Structure 1
């Protein structure tokens, strides 16, 4: 037997003679319907293949020694920028006091409108001491260590304030201080009494347990304590409060799926001695997108606590309220979770699964259509025979 005829014996797709085929109207209708169904199902298979699914995974966070950005935008409508201080501290011992780098303080009128940028600086260029006599050495009013007495000069109001801070003394509004009165510092403080303040920007912190807070007055450290000079806040004729509006607070880069629970939070109080605490749990999160670089960011959950604190000054620390119930302000304590969430984007099926699905659709629909067509044809023949009888 020739090789070609041998191959014929393996043909699973035997052919019928063209003259033996019968074409019917019902068969044409079934074929059109089957074709439409096949096209629709293939389109559905293609859509399923193109569909992206997010597969979350929880792992142990093994990263160490990283830094984290805290993005914030908070308005304090009832306390001026000159009084408000932002500090950061963490368990590693790092302290960032009176932060200005990466942070913008915007002075606000009592109606919430922004004061022009020309008025943002408390000290104008004319306040500098360069016009003084070269031999001038301003007093520091005793606010210097003993070894520096008679050697250190305080020629500007800021010099005196810094000297007071170093020895832990309350400074106040500068009344009675020659340098401050020369620079009209007390008058400017009085003019600002009815202003508000917006603080916006980014903090760079160690990715460890820590806190950042907004409190009144310059901050300084004494043994085992973090203190604030509350003199101006306490003695001001205007009743300042820590009413605040958190426009935005996030940890790390933005991702459209991450929800920040503290965004658009508004807290109001009529009490001067009031303390707000936000306890934040930060969870590291990585987003892995198809065709894009991974994004490392953080999500967080939060609980809050607020309370009125007892006023008055402590006898041991007359410049502060720290020892008697705490200090007024807004405090954010953050803790870092040991777990990490990975959100990985994947296609719902592989290309091979898509091809298998297409083959199954074509074969299945044609098989069902063949059965339907055969049934219709047999029924038509039976009816024709019955009519002939």
Structure 2
């Protein structure tokens, strides 16, 4: 039975009227227990509803806890930056005295013997490290040499100048040869100063060794190349030149394994570098030649879900091998294209930049989705329950 509430209260007390006015905003009408009808079908739908809500809610929690990864392209407008190149390469048939890493770019900058700022590790034919890794930096570090008489003057082997008359150490001899723009490969191997200079890790090494070069270098952010090639490199009249004996070129076996090659720091979910773990072997009965890797560097900015940015680069490659064709012994000396045995990495910069980011769903969006799941499931199942209940009533009326 419903009872009507009288409004015959004193006018001075308006709290009851205000309370009744607030009741008009109630969107959740209450039904007396005696008017409620519970069915087995409604119970089954309720259980299924709770299970469905739990599944959808857990899936939404997982979606919230897992940031999404997005990428898009923009025009690269950065200026005046350096490009850092990380290198780790093993040469299976070249000694550490023969491995010289040079870099040059279209701006005209040349960096000779960049490996002097990297770590070289002597390797046996079977890939086993020999001794400790060394860093060869000309003109730096302690020098240990034999004791010489007070007036001793070491031979410069023809490279002496009015400024440099004596070459008592391996460094002084190398500097004299570089001023003359002469090759230093032979003096590193055979000169008395370099053999007795125990600070030189790579003097007097075996001819059947290999070498691993690893480290990093910084170059201008313009197109260019870095390479390891036959001969001693010099810059003469602004031109990059390799001095070598052509008769020794066939013995310059550039078999190599690129353990890793990257341009900058990696970031989570970054695609693998295309040249990592690439192996190129030239058999002893095959001709050596020129390996060329053409690299398209794509600048990349990575932003994690906390706003921290990493400026790095990705790249794509194409490659080719050009064998060294020597004149035949039968006198058929057809004109051959001049090839410098070695390995060249020729890179260019893409005008576009990749913006990669990890985005986490905002917390308020997560709460909104949870509420939508709960409300949507209850609403849909409520409609299904009312339909089933009406069908059940209609069926029961027809059977009477």
- TM-score, length-scaled by structure 1: 0.80
Comparing 102-111 and 213-222, the one that deviates more: 213-222
Q: Which residue of 1 aligns with 2:272?
A: 259
Cα shift at 1:241: 0.6
Q: 1:163 to 1:11 in 2, by over 3 A?
A: closer
Q: Are positions 1:115 and 2:130 aligned together? A: yes
Q: What RMSD over aligned residues (CA atoms) do the two structures have, in Å? A: 3.6
Which residue in the other structure is 1:332 paired with? 345
Distance (whole Å) between structure 1 residues aligned to residue 304 and residue 63 of structure 2: 18
Pairs aligned (count): 365
Match of 1:140 among 156, 175, 180: 156
Structure 1 46/191 Cα, relative in aligned 2: closer, same or farther at 3 Å? Answer: closer
Residues of 2 paired with 1:273 and 1:223: CA distance? Answer: 30
In 2, distance between residues paired with 1:157 and 1:50? 61
CA shift digits 1:358-377 (9 cap, x unpaired)? 33333333233333333433
Alignment match, 1:201:
215
The corresponding residue for 1:154 is 167
With 377-386 and 86-95 compared, the bigger mean Cα shift is at 377-386
Matches within 5 A, 1:1-389: 2-117=17-132, 130-145=146-161, 148=162, 152-156=165-169, 159-170=172-183, 173=186, 179=192, 183=196, 192-231=206-245, 234-235=247-248, 239-256=251-268, 257-269=270-282, 270=284, 274-291=289-306, 293-309=308-324, 325-347=338-360, 349-385=361-397, 389=400
Contact 2:287/2:324 (<8 A) preserved: no
Query: Structure 2 stretches of 5 or more lacking a match?
Result: 1-6, 8-16, 137-142, 328-336
Distance between the aligned counterparts of 1:66 and 1:198, measured in 2? 29
The Cα shift of 1:74 comes to: 0.7
| Unmatched 5+ stretches in structure 1 | 122-126, 313-323
- 8 A contact 1:98–1:218 mirrored in 2: no
Question: Residues 68, 373 of structure 1: CA spacing in aligned structure 2 closer, same or farther, 3 A cutoff?
Answer: same
* Conserved 8 A contact 2:168-2:193: no
Q: C-alpha offsets along residues 260-310 of structure 1, whole Å, 9 cap, x if unaligned?
A: 111111112245651111111111111111125211111011111221245
1:178, distance to aligned residue in structure 2 (A): 7.3
Whether contact under 8 Å (1:86, 1:214) holds in the other structure is yes
Q: Is the 8 A contact 1:165 1:218 kept in 2?
A: no
Cα distance change, pair 22–327 in 1 and its aligned pair in 2 (3 A): closer
* Contact kept in structure 2, 1:216 and 1:228, CA below 8 Å: yes
Is the contact made by 2:121 and 2:130 (CA closer than 8 Å) also made in structure 1?
A: yes
Shift of 1:109: 1.4
